[in-house]
Amino acid sequence: MKIAIASDHAGFGLKGEILKFLESRNIRTIDLGTYSEESVDYPDYAEKVADALTDGRADKGILVCGTGIGMSVSANKKKGIVAALIYSDYTAEMAAKHNRANVITLGARTMQKEDAIRYIDIWMNTPFEGGRHEKRVRKVLDIEKEQKEK
Ligand code: RB5
pLDDT over 80 at 150, yes or no = no
**Fold topology of 2-149:** Ribose 5-phosphate Isomerase B; Chain: A, (3.40.1400)
Residue-range domain boundaries for the chain: 2-149
CA of 135 to the centre of ligand 1 (A): 33
| Separation CA 63–CA 75 (nearest Å) | 9
The pTM for the full model equals 0.97
Residues annotated as part of the active site: 65, 98
Query: Residue 84 contacts by C-beta under 8 Å, 6 or more apart in sequence?
Result: 72, 91, 95, 99, 101, 103, 104, 105
Instruction: Label residue 145 by pLDDT band (50, 70, 90).
Output: confident
Question: Does ligand 1 come within 6 angstroms of the Cβ of 58?
Answer: no
Per-residue model confidence (pLDDT) at position 74: 98
Residue 146 Cα, ligand 1 centroid: separation in angstroms? 30
Alpha helices per DSSP H over the chain: 12-24, 42-54, 69-75, 89-97, 113-125, 132-149
Mean pLDDT of 37-41: 98
